[in-house]
Structures are given as C-alpha cells and as structure tokens.
Structure 1
Amino acid sequence: MNLFLEAIAWIFSTDKSASVEPIPTALVQHLVYTFGSVLIAAAIAVPAGWLIGHTGRGRDIAVGISGAARAIPSFGLLFLLVLLLGVLHKPEAAIITFVLLAIPSILAGAYSGFEAIDRRVIDAGRAVGMTEWQILWRIEVPLGLPLLVAGLRAATLQVVATVTIAAYVNLGGLGQYIIAGIPLRRYDMVLGGALLVAALALVLDALFAVAQRFAVPRGVRRDTSGRRRGSKATADAASVRQPRPEPASVSTA
C-alpha cells in the first residue's frame, strides 16, 4: 500500500529524475507511436480484409498469416530490426514492429465484419440491381463497421502495451520510467510508469467502446431496441396473473 501511494506521489511530483523526460512529453511520444502504427496497419489490413470478406477468397491464407504474426515475439523482433536497419533507424524499426503486431487484429475485424452479415441482405441488394461497388459501400461496410472498430480497439490496446518496450532502445514513451527505475531501484517510478500505461489503455478502451457503439447503423440500433421493447412487453403481458376461477360448489344429497 505504501508503494502504491509513493507511486501516486511520484506521478504528481515535479521532481523527476534527470534521466527521464516529463510525463506530458512521454505521453505524447507514446501516443504518436501507438496511433502512427495503428494507422499504417489499418491502411494495409482494412482493404485486404474487405477484399477477403467481399469475395470470400483468401480467408485461410489471412488466418495463417495472422496467426504467424501473433506468434512473433515483439521484443525480439524489435531488437532484430534495430540490428538489421542500424541504430540510426531505431524509430523505423519500432514502427515496423508495432505495425506487424496491429495487423492481425485489424485484418480479422475487417473480414469477420463482412462474414457476419446475413447473406440474404446482400442477395436482396443484388436483386434490386445494386452493383458490387454499391453493395460494398452501402451494405457491407456500414454493417461490418462495428467489428472493424472492435479490431482497431484490440490492436490499439496491444500496441499501447507493447510501445513500452521502445524505451529499451531509447525511443521514449511511458515505458522509460519502468526501464530507468529498475536499475535505480526506484520502484515508485516503476509502478508509476506501469500505472500511467494502464490508465492510458483504459482511457483508449473506453473511447473505442463508445465509438464501437456508435458504429452500429442507426436502423440496426432502432430495430434492436424495438425487439427488446417487444420482448419486454410480451414478458410483462405473460406475467399478468389470470383471474382465479371460482371454486365449484359441492352439492349435498
């Protein structure tokens, strides 16, 4: 408990170690690496996932690539890329590492969002004369958007947690407090850095949860709420007690 209070006091203290940067600067660095990597990964994975979901081809290949990418240890990959690209290209090595980490979740969210759509809806679109391009943008993309946002949400949380290792190669971020505090035996700094990363992840998760809710098309939300109200009304009607029948009179002989 004392260590926790010391970590909270360190976060709000203005007397930081000279070997680390101020928290606002580290937070900006952390967010730049996170959102930069997620945006690059989305530019690669979203079109590929939509193509797979729309055509139904290449799903097995995508699943295999995603599984292989998830199995790559990000810490080892970062050091390998730093050695291959050179110490002058450490930011590029970090971005490549985080992009490879984010792609599987975004790719899965993109094509699974299309696969979750009822095929009768797509067949109805074709029946009224919609082109494949119109089906993509007017039916599949709006209905598949919630699962895509869920994939972006998962990818962002994974990258936020993994960006902490960027401090091992002196790239800053909130992980620098954890890395710098261990050799100094400043456990209040270590715990404070971990709390900052956890708080950032919770805030981003809450924002994506709100975005995922609003990503559901308005008509689908209205239909879902209407079904809920109908089910509740049916249950309430069924719960009304029926009038109790009068007891039959017994005739005496």
Structure 2
Amino acid sequence: MAIEKVFMVDNTSVIADEVLSHRLGLIPLDADPRLFDYISDDVPNERNTIVYKLHVSCEKGSQRLTVKSGQLEWLPEGSQLTMASPAQSGDNQRTYTSFGQSQQNTSERPLGVKYNDITIARLGPGQAIELEAHAVKGVGKVHAKWSPVATAWYRMLPEVVLLKEIKNGDAEELVKRCPVNVFDIEDLGKGEKRAVVAKPRSCTLCRECVRLADDQVELRRVRDHFIFTIESTGALPPEVLFTEAVKILEEKCERVISELS
C-alpha cells in the first residue's frame, strides 16, 4: 500500500505540490496489503483505498514548524472532501470515496504510517498545508513506492580454515586483527592458548587475517551455500516478504509450465 493520489486543499510551503506528493508516496504505511484488493474502474472503497488527512499550520510570529509523517491522520470513514461539481437537488454531497462501512470494522489496528518521525516539510510563520491522501495497492514494477523491499542481496557462505595451529601471542594478535570477531581464544591449560574459528558466518573476506598470517589462514567460499538477506521498508516483516515472494515465483513457474504443456 502506498499513497497514489493527493488532493491538495492548501499548500503555502516552499515545497511544490508535486514534490510534496512524491514525498508522501514514499512514506511506508502500516497496512497489510494482503487485506486489500487492487483498485479497479477507479472506484475507491473501503476494500481498496486508505484515506489520510494532513492539516498543519505555523502561526505567524512562531518558530519554524517541522511536519512529520506521524501527523498524517487516518480517516476510517473515507474521504471528507466533497467533489467540486455541485450535487443535484435533494442529494447528499458526494466525496472522493464510496465507503460502504468504516474500515475500523475490518481492521484490527489503526492503518497509520510505519514510522512517525519522517520529515515531510518545514513550515515558516504563516505557512500551512492541508491535503487528503489516498493510498492504494500496487506492485513494485509500476513504481518503487509499492515495493516493500528496501534492499535484497546474497553472498556465498565464507569458510575460514586454519592451516596450522596459531598459539599464544600470535593467537591473540589474530583475534585483535579481525574487525568482525571471527576468531576466538581457546584455553589449552598450562598457560597454552590457541586461536579457533568461532564465527565464520560473520567473515566479510576483508583478508586482514591473511595479511597477518598468510601461510596459516586460508579464506574460501562454500559454492553451494548462499546467505540471502532481505531488508524491509517496514510495511511487512522480511520473513513474510520471503514467503510471499516464493508464492509469486511458484505461480509464475506454474504459468510457464501450463503454457508449454
């Protein structure tokens, strides 16, 4: 879910309307997209649209005001703005959404923003922002704001091998040299110590250990073991992102198989 439409009522800040709208679209929302439908026929309702309101002003003579993402107010009843065209006689004023029921009845928690401290704008004395923002469900290939993944990458599992025993002072120097604490000291008794590989997964292949003891330490990679890392924007936990991505991949594979058969 991401903000797609912004209805600007008043904006006297130094930020242009389109720039302000772009900033709003990139704010992660605390809403599970699996609970919503894709909007169709441009008919916003409680099943495909989340409405937020922002109305802040900086009084004349006061200090500059920083507008944060936490000031976006969720409107579970839908839009509060009436359409510009006048309603027919006897009809109620139409708004920009057609909610059949309140979203409080369908959501267990408020559909706010994920982080309340994202700076949207700064207002000077006498400036104000009043707008209504509509968030809808989308996919990342249309726009990055709909991508719940910040960064994803993989690397092969590092393998650190001690070719010879490294003892006593050399072992302590090896432990100090490693910036990510891959090595540790094992007490052999009688004042003897030796270096052991304690956390090979933490190795970044910086080769500091090899520079210290080239003929005693060897760095390798496990060719069939990959460490896959997913960073979330906050909309969904990384483990959920991985599960949903596997489901999408499975659907694509089934589609290809059905077309080839």
Name the TM-score, length of structure 1 as normaliser. Answer: 0.25
**Structure with greater strand percent:** 2
Question: Which structure has the greater CA radius of gyration?
Answer: 2
**Structure with greater helix percent:** 1
